Chain A
Amino acid sequence: MKLLQKTIRSYFVYSVIILLVAIPVFYFVIQGIVREDVDENLMNTKEILKPKIANALLHNNISQLNFLDHDITVSVSTALKEFDTLTTIEIFDTVARELVPYRVLTSYVIINGKPCILEVKTSLVDNEDLIQSIVKVQVILLLLLIVGLFIINRNLSKKIWMPFYTTLNTLKNYKVEKHEPLALSKSAITEFNDLNTSLQELTERTYQSYISQKEFTENASHEMQTPLAVFHSKLELLMQTMPLSQEQAELMSGLADAGQRMARLNKSLLLLTKIENSQFADKENISLNACIEKFILLYQPQINEKQITVENKITTDEILNANTALIEVLISNLLGNAIRHNYVGGRINIQLHLDELVIENTGRQTPLDETKIFERFQKESIDSNSIGLGLEMVNKVCSINQYEVAYQFINNLHSFTVRFNS
């Protein structure tokens, strides 16, 4: 949920609750006030009428009493009750052809010693209409108020949070390896200024640690490569010494192989560290097809040596926007593995459809553990030339570029799929 949505949502919920509660309460309060008023009027009318009726009855009998006003009736009562009753009834109006609510005051009065029933009624239609109109106006006013508040609040929030969103966007585009200082504008609000200052300090510190890590990589490389170079050179000089026996030659061969592996391992580890440090950031458009063909050509001697049939079934080209060195690491490792872990006379299939590159190869008859193969030094091969870093590099390159890589073992083929999601 966005920040603005969150605040506006709280306002909205509060407003709806207020509206839902206020409208009925308002309606009933108005209605109560009006009813009280009506009842009071009815009582007043009765009190005014009582002496007038008594006066009139001196000359006429009760049935002869005809009022011009239909809302007043007087009849003889057999019983006498002490209390007046007020009721609301609905009477059919012959003119309007509908039921009309009336407020009726039934009063028992003794006129000239005779018990009588005096009924005074008044139509509530006009009052109801009035109440409804008032409520409508009030609802509209409330709605206008809430909508107005909403709009004002949203605009105000947007304005207030503007520096925050600017900062957020700048941060999103920040890449530590590029080291462009964060260009954050000054805000009138202290908190945002504090935030910006803290962020600038934070990115500076991050950059410093990035630099020191990079320096460490370079230094580690230097420190490791130099003794390795000494080892190599001394061993080569040792090979030139005379006389040389078969036993010595075998020992030296073993040392040379181990030294070679150390050198290769160190080189791969450094490359991996460089990839992890995102030191390959420059992107350009690369033809995947051209890259694959380049490595097939480069590995041709090894392919020939093992008599492997390479079937490159790629017909369409995929243009990737990525770092060339990284894509080369990806392809060379996948293809190199397909050659290294193949058997003599084996097969490699390369396919590309819908952003998916599939490299399949024959090899061991049992599937590899797909949960482990992408981790470093999780090699399942007995081949001493395999140092167990290739697939981790593949994995790292994929995660940097947001590609997906997966392993499957289908039809006795080890299949690696890279989904480019372009």
Chain B
Amino acid sequence: MKILIVEDEKELSKSMVTYLQRENYTCDVAYNFNDGRSKMESFDYDCILLDISLPDGNGLQILKELKGDDKLDGVIIISAKNSLDDKIAGLNLGADDYMAKPFHLSELSARIAAVIRRKRFQGSNVLVFNELTIDLLAKTVSVSNKPVDVTRKEYDLLLYLVSNKNRVISKNAIAENISGDNADLYDNFDFIYAHMKNLKKKLTAAGCEDYIKSIYGMGYKFTI
């Protein structure tokens, strides 16, 4: 799967490339508006990560032209502005998602996966890891074809973990994924531990191998 990263900050785009390549994505990089536009015109991508503020133009212009050409590439806007106007403008122009800097690479990876799944399978999709099956349309989890009763939060958590399989996801990233901007209202990360414990308990009780590992209290990893 091919991804185009249009981002003028070289170090940041390098980080994204490194992280995404391990997910077996092929990454093309453009550091400016013109390069981004010509790459967008010449090739088809599964997903384009688009920074709005580029040194020689506005990323939204690329999005406009892309949609004008009836291209089906998924687009995730990456902006440092985090302004509602930009978000609305971007989504109105047909972007699939919007992320404000700074973001967690694990979150980015999960969102890319979601965009690609939506584009490729029109939203109907099932993820299978050995005995574990996640139905993305029905939002259900089953182990060896037997349904496991998980809460919405636990389902989201599991999906986030498998979207970054074999990666350490930091607790901060998990907290933000679960509760968004309100993560700072928790005194500590105990709530993550509680959710994680319940999820692991339910999966192992259903006969699933314990894929979720805690990494030295730093974060969690779905190992397969």
Residues of chain A touching chain B, judged by Cβ–Cβ distance below 8 Å, are 218, 221-222, 225-226, 228-237, 239-240, 244, 246, 249-250, 252-253, 256-257, 259-260, 263-264, 267, 270, 298-299, 301-302, 305-306, 325, 336, 339-340, 383, 385
Contacts and interface: CB of A to CB of B under 8 A. Distances in A.
Contact of B105 (A236, A252, A257, A306): A236
Interface in B74-127: 80-82, 84, 100-106
A339 B187 CA distance: 10
A269 B19 CA distance: 30
Interface in B19-78: 19, 22, 53
Contacts of A256: 170-172, 218
Contacts of B9: 226, 229-230
7 contacts: A221-B80, A225-B102, A230-B12, A236-B106, A256-B172, A264-B184, A385-B184
B182 A325 contact: no
B185 A302 contact: yes
B191 to A, nearest CB: 5
Contacts of A298: 182
A385 B187 CA distance: 7
Given A236-B105, A249-B215, A301-B179, 17 more contacts: A221-B80, A221-B81, A229-B9, A229-B80, A229-B102, A236-B19, A236-B106, A237-B18, A239-B218, A239-B219, A240-B19, A240-B168, A249-B216, A253-B171, A256-B218, A259-B102, A336-B185
A179 to B, nearest CB: 16
A225 B80 contact: yes
Given A225-B102, A263-B102, A302 B182 contact: yes
B186 interface: yes
A230 B15 contact: yes
A236 B16 CA distance: 10
Contacts of A221: 80-82
Contacts of A340: 184-185, 187
A226 B187 contact: no
Contacts of B172: 256-257, 259-260
Contact of A305 (B19, B106, B186): B186
A388 to B, nearest CB: 12
Report whether over half of chain A's contact residues are helix, strand or loop; otherwise say mixed.
helix
B101 A226 contact: yes
Contacts of A226: 9, 12, 80, 101
A256 B172 CA distance: 7
Contacts of A237: 15, 18-19, 105
Interface in B156-210: 167-168, 170-173, 178-179, 182, 184-187, 190-191
Given A218-B81, A249-B218, A256-B172, A230 B11 contact: yes
Contact of B186 (A234, A240, A244, A385): A385
Contacts of B103: 229, 232
Given A228-B101, A229-B102, A257-B172, A250 B80 contact: no
B108 to A, nearest CB: 9
A222 B12 CA distance: 13
Contact of B182 (A225, A299, A383): A299
A229 B101 contact: yes
A370 B172 CA distance: 33
Contacts of B19: 233, 236-237, 240
B185 to A, nearest CB: 4
B185 A236 contact: no
A267 B83 CA distance: 11
Contacts of A225: 80, 82, 100-102
A235 B182 CA distance: 22
Question: Most A CB atoms within 10 A — which of B9, B81, B218, B219?
Answer: B218
Contact of A249 (B18, B53, B185, B217): B217
Question: Most B CB atoms within 10 A — which of A259, A302, A325, A383?
Answer: A302
A270 to B, nearest CB: 8
A230 B103 CA distance: 9
Contacts of B100: 225
B185 A299 contact: yes
Contacts of A236: 15, 19, 104-106, 170, 173
Given A229-B101, A249-B217, A339 B185 contact: yes
Given A240-B167, A253-B218, A260-B172, A233 B12 contact: yes
Nearest to A304: B191
B15 A244 contact: no
Contact of B12 (A229, A246, A253, A336): A229
Contacts of A302: 179, 182, 185-186
B69 to A, nearest CB: 28
Contacts of A257: 172
B159 to A, nearest CB: 18
Given A222-B80, A256-B172, A233 B185 contact: no
A383 B101 CA distance: 25
Nearest to A335: B185
Nearest to B190: A305
A310 to B, nearest CB: 13
A149 to B, nearest CB: 60
B157 to A, nearest CB: 13
Question: Most A CB atoms within 10 A — which of B15, B100, B153?
Answer: B15
Contacts of A246: 216
B102 A231 contact: yes
Contacts of B101: 225-226, 228-229
